[in-house]
Structure 1
Amino acid sequence: MNTLLGTHSFDTAILNKGPGAKELQHQVQQATETLIHSLQQAERPYQGKSPEDVKKEIRELISFHGNHSFSDIVNDLHKTVLSNSLFVSHEKSIAHLHCPPVIPAVVGELIIGAMNQSLDSWDQSPAATFMDQEMIHWLTSQFGYDEGSDGVFTSGGTQSNYMSLLLARDNYCNKKWNHDVKRDGLPQQFNRMRILCSESAHFTVKKSAGQLGLGENAVISVRTDESHRMCTDHLRSLIEEMKMQGLFPFLIVGTCGTTDFGSIDPLEDLAAIATEEKMWLHVDAAFGGALILSDTYQWKLNGIEQADSITVDFHKQFYQPISCGAFLLKNGEHFNLMNHVADYLNPEEDDEEGILNLVAKSTQTTRRFDSLKLYLSLKTIGLDLFADMIDSTFELAIDVADYLREQEDFELLNTEPELNTVVFRYVRGEEKKLNPLNRKIQQELYHSYAAIAKTTIDEKQYLKFTMLNPRTTLPDVVEILNRIRVLGENWRKHV
Structure 2
Amino acid sequence: MRSHLLNETTADLYRRTVTEGVDRVAAKLATTRRPHTGISVDELTPVIDGIDLDRPLGDASAALDELEDVYLRDAVYFHHPRYLGHLNCPVVIPAVVGEAVLSAVNSSLDTWDQSIGGTLIERRLIEWTARRIGLGEGADGVFTSGGSQSNFHALLLARDEACRIVMKRALDAGTELTKAELLPKLRIFTSEASHFSVQKSAAMLGLGYEAVIAVPVDRARRMDTSVLALELEECAAEGLFPMAVVATAGTTDFGSIDPLPEIARLASEHSAWMHVDAAYGCGLLVSPTRRHLLDGIEHADSVTVDYHKSFFQPVSSSAVLVRDRDTLKHATYHADYLNPRRMAEERIPNQVDKSIQTTRRFDALKLWMTLRVMGADGVGSLFDEVVGLAAAGWEILDADPRFEVVVKPQLSTLVFRYVPATDGDGPRPDLLDEAQLHARKALFASGEAVVAGTKVDGKQYLKFTLLNPQTTTADITAVLDLVAAHAEQFLGESLAVHH
TM over 0.5: yes
Distance in structure 2 (CA, Å) of the matches to 1:22 and 1:235: 62
Q: Is the 8 A contact 1:198 1:254 kept in 2?
A: yes
Q: Is the 8 A contact 2:135 2:300 kept in 1?
A: no
> Is residue 2:93 matched to residue 1:106?
no
Distance in structure 1 (CA, Å) of the matches to 2:81 and 2:219: 31
Distance in structure 2 (CA, Å) of the matches to 1:115 and 1:293: 29
- Sequence identity, in percent? 41
> Is residue 2:156 matched to residue 1:166?
yes
Q: Is the 8 A contact 1:153 1:325 kept in 2?
A: yes
Distance in structure 2 (CA, Å) of the matches to 1:486 and 1:302: 42
Q: Is the 8 A contact 2:242 2:271 kept in 1?
A: no
Counterpart for residue 393 of structure 2 = 400
For 1:197, what is the secondary structure of its paired residue?
A: strand
For 1:436, give the aligned amino acid: E
Counterpart for residue 203 of structure 1 = 196
For 2:434, give the aligned amino acid: P
Q: Is the 8 A contact 2:38 2:444 kept in 1?
A: no
Worse overlay, 405-414 or 37-46: 37-46
Counterpart for residue 282 of structure 1 = 275
For 1:136, what is the secondary structure of its paired residue?
A: helix
> Is residue 2:242 matched to residue 1:249?
yes
Deviations 1:143-173 (A, max 9, x none): 1121111000000111110011111111111
**Post-superposition offset of 1:48:** 4.1
Pick closer, same or farther for the CA change 1:234–1:476 going to 2, 3 Å.
same
Counterpart for residue 321 of structure 2 = 328
For 2:461, what is the secondary structure of its paired residue?
A: strand
Give 1:330-345 correspondences, 5 Å limit.
Answer: 330-345=323-338
Worse overlay, 276-285 or 57-66: 57-66
Counterpart for residue 437 of structure 1 = 435
Give 1:262-411 correspondences, 5 Å limit.
Answer: 262-411=255-404
Deviations 1:244-295 (A, max 9, x none): 1111112110011111101111000011111111111000000111111112
For 2:83, what is the secondary structure of its paired residue?
A: coil
Distance in structure 1 (CA, Å) of the matches to 2:192 and 2:138: 33
Give 1:116-155 correspondences, 5 Å limit.
Answer: 116-155=106-145
Using the size of structure 1 for normalisation, the TM-score is 0.95
For 2:82, what is the secondary structure of its paired residue?
A: coil
Q: Is the 8 A contact 1:165 1:208 kept in 2?
A: yes
Q: Is the 8 A contact 1:193 1:248 kept in 2?
A: yes
**Post-superposition offset of 1:383:** 2.1
Distance in structure 2 (CA, Å) of the matches to 1:62 and 1:227: 53
For 1:333, what is the secondary structure of its paired residue?
A: helix
Deviations 1:383-409 (A, max 9, x none): 222121111101100101101111111
Q: Is the 8 A contact 1:48 1:83 kept in 2?
A: no
Structure 2 unaligned residues grouped into runs of 5+ = 170-176, 421-425, 495-499
> Is residue 2:478 matched to residue 1:479?
yes
Counterpart for residue 489 of structure 2 = 490
For 1:422, what is the secondary structure of its paired residue?
A: strand
For 2:450, what is the secondary structure of its paired residue?
A: coil
1:427 to 397, 419, 424: 419
Counterpart for residue 456 of structure 1 = 455
Using the size of structure 2 for normalisation, the TM-score is 0.94
1:57 to 42, 47, 54: 47
For 1:95, give the aligned amino acid: G
Distance in structure 1 (CA, Å) of the matches to 2:57 and 2:64: 13
**Post-superposition offset of 1:243:** 1.1
For 1:471, give the aligned amino acid: Q
Worse overlay, 256-265 or 375-384: 375-384
1:26 to 13, 16, 21: 16
Counterpart for residue 180 of structure 2 = 187
Q: Is the 8 A contact 1:118 1:366 kept in 2?
A: yes
**Post-superposition offset of 1:62:** 4.3
For 1:425, give the aligned amino acid: R
Q: Is the 8 A contact 1:34 1:75 kept in 2?
A: no
Give 1:58-97 correspondences, 5 Å limit.
Answer: 58-97=48-87
